[in-house]
Amino acid sequence: MKENYMVCNCMQVSYNKIADALEGHTKFEDVLGLFNAVQAITHCSTGCGGCHDKVLEVISEIMMG
Ligand code: FES
Please give all residues whose beta carbon lies within 6 A of any atom in ligand 1, as ranges: 8-11, 44-51
d(CA 65, CA 50): 25
Separation of 40 CA from ligand 1 center, angstroms? Answer: 14
Separation of 15 CA from ligand 1 center, angstroms? Answer: 13
CATH code: domain of residue 43: 1.10.10
Give a yes or no: residue 1 inside a domain. no
More confident residue, 28 or 46: 46
CB environment 20-46: b (16+ within 10 A), e (fewer)? ebbeeeeeeeeeeebbebbbeebebbe
To the question of pTM greater than 0.95 for the whole model, the response is: no
Q: In whole angstroms, what separates CA 64 from the centre of its chain?
A: 13
Q: Which domain holds residue 34?
A: 6-63
- Condensed to tens digits (0 to 9), the pLDDT of residues 23-42 reads 999 888 899 999 999 999 99
pLDDT of residue 13: 98
Q: If you take atom 4 of ligand 1, which residue's CA is the nearest one?
A: 48
Separation of 27 CA from ligand 1 center, angstroms? Answer: 26
d(CA 64, CA 62): 6
Confidence of residue 1 (pLDDT cuts 50, 70, 90): low
Residues in the chain: 65
pLDDT of residue 44: 98
